Amino acid sequence: MSLNDDNYLIYLQIAIYLFIKTDFQMFKRFLISIIIILSLLILFYSLFQSEITYEGNRRKFYLLYVIASLIFILFGFVLFFLNNKMTTMFLIILSSLVFSIYLFEFYVTYLSINRLDDLNIKKKSEMFKNMSGKNYDTRTKYSYYLNQKKTNQNIKIDINTVNLLKHNDLEIFPLSGYSNSEVILCNEFGYYKHIKTDRYGFNNLDNIWDAKKFNYALIGDSFIEGYCQDEKNTIHYKLTKLFGGNIINLAQGGAGSLQEYAIILEYLPENTKGLIWFICDNDIIDLQKEISNKKLYRYLLENNSYQNLKLNQNSVDETFKQIFEYEEQLMKKNEFKRFLKLNYLRSYFHSFLFKKNPSLKIQTKYKSERYKDFLDIMNNIKKISLDKNIELHVVYLPTYNYFKDDKYLNKDYKHIINILKKLSINYLDLNIEIFDKEKNPQDLFPFGFYGHYNNYGSDEVSKAIHRFVDK
């Protein structure tokens, strides 16, 4: 090999070195830019959600993401001043960390039976095991549905108002559920609760509609529909026993005051002695969502049953079929989205850092007009009850949030009570009647955790209502 050849090799080596160095510098700058941009996006999104969307009510929840994004922004700028060796080491550490995190998330999401979406699942599992000798069903509702569908092709998943309100182009807006169907509701007691709906999609024995007279009609949300509970543990069942039968349940999970009012207009039997209206502390939040829907709001404006849903049950069922096809696609996508967003790992860290279920902090923007709409609804109900000679009894039902989250306390409660007093409506405040007298109000909920009332809670509530109405 000649001298020129040697020089050629040296030049080639230098060129390769410079190329690699230049290429690495470009990669380094690209990586740093991505880290900083993503961190800034997370930072601005977290601040927007915390301070604008939730008006500071979830500040603690988003604090972790604000801190994490600031740390990564700082790391991004530090990387600019590190040499290539240090940068490479950092990349290896970062890649290994990300890989390990997603490996753990994959295991928990798809392989582990101890899922972390319910932050108290281990405690619940132990308690359920001790009580029943059985294992707590930790499957997601969709996974459970797919398993059940193997042996029952006609089984359904409950679709409530939350799912319906996303669709503004519905020709008909259902107020109930699937008719004459077996429907999966939820799991708060270790197993999934199924119900068999009546001809109009409510949780009743179908022949109840053939009765000539009704003692009482019940209207409310999931607490009254019988979510997650065995039939004999529901408030509806217990009140039926206490009052001697013929009590029809018109409650729907996820319903706010406007939907409940619309249900009364559409479905309340003419031959009803009394109406027991149940109000939860989350009803006003639900009402705010409902008034944005033109079809629902029309019930308040016109004060009539303009959809004639009793005569259009086939259209209701067809609407549910179309919506479920859409929701099922979302459930499939969401399973993967939850994985990408590290849903279970984030839940674990929030539980560890704050020792509270972050779901308890969920709030929405508050608007003063929602109280006017609630007043109008209750005033209309009072007029209807007087015109039709129907007894009207209103019952206030505290939820678990009432006892566990100080910021949640009484944002709507006092307004609700004041409106009932203003309208001179007969009401029972179960917060005063039962829950304030309990040493541990959480004992009325499943395993003492967030959810609907347990058997003891339903029993105490039902007896208090019976005493109240009987007076």
Q: What is the pLDDT of residues 425-442, one digit of tens each?
A: 999 999 899 988 888 888
pLDDT at 454: 93
87 or 48: whose pLDDT is higher?
Answer: 48
454 and 446 in contact (C-beta within 8 Å)? yes
Alpha carbon of 245 to those of 206, 238, 271, 273: distances in Å? 14, 10, 14, 12
pLDDT at 361: 38
Burial (CB < 10 A; 0-12, 13-18, 19+), residue 205, is exposed
Is the pLDDT at 9 greater than 70? The verdict is: no
Q: Taking residues 254-281, what's their average pLDDT? A: 94
pLDDT at 6: 56
Q: Which residue bears the tokens 């707590």? A: 136
Is the pLDDT at 374 greater than 90? The verdict is: yes
Q: Taking residues 106-131, what's their average pLDDT? A: 67
CA atoms of 268 and 137, how far apart (whole Å): 37
374 or 4: whose pLDDT is higher?
Answer: 374
470 or 176: whose pLDDT is higher?
Answer: 176
Percent of the chain with pLDDT over 90: 38
191 or 324: whose pLDDT is higher?
Answer: 191
pLDDT at 337: 64
Residue-wise pLDDT tens digits, 57-116: 667 767 877 888 888 888 878 777 777 777 777 767 777 877 787 777 776 665 554 444
58 and 45 in contact (C-beta within 8 Å)? no
Is the pLDDT at 196 greater than 90? The verdict is: yes
Average pLDDT in the chain = 81
Q: Taking residues 171-185, what's their average pLDDT? A: 92
pTM of full prediction above 0.75 = no
Is the pLDDT at 2 greater than 50? The verdict is: no
Is the pLDDT at 25 greater than 70? The verdict is: no
pLDDT at 363: 39
Question: Sorting pLDDT into bands at 50, 70 and 90, what band is 347?
Answer: low
pLDDT at 42: 85
Least confident among 3-17, 94-108, 165-179, 423-437: 3-17
- Determine the CATH number of domain 142-470: 3.40.50.1110
105 or 424: whose pLDDT is higher?
Answer: 424
402 or 462: whose pLDDT is higher?
Answer: 462
Q: Which residue bears the tokens 């972390």? A: 116
Q: Which residue bears the tokens 């009580």? A: 131
Q: Taking residues 334-358, what's their average pLDDT? A: 59
* Domain boundaries defined on the chain: 3-81, 142-470
Neighbours of 138 (CB within 10 A): 20
Residue-wise pLDDT tens digits, 229-264: 999 999 999 999 999 989 999 999 989 999 999 999
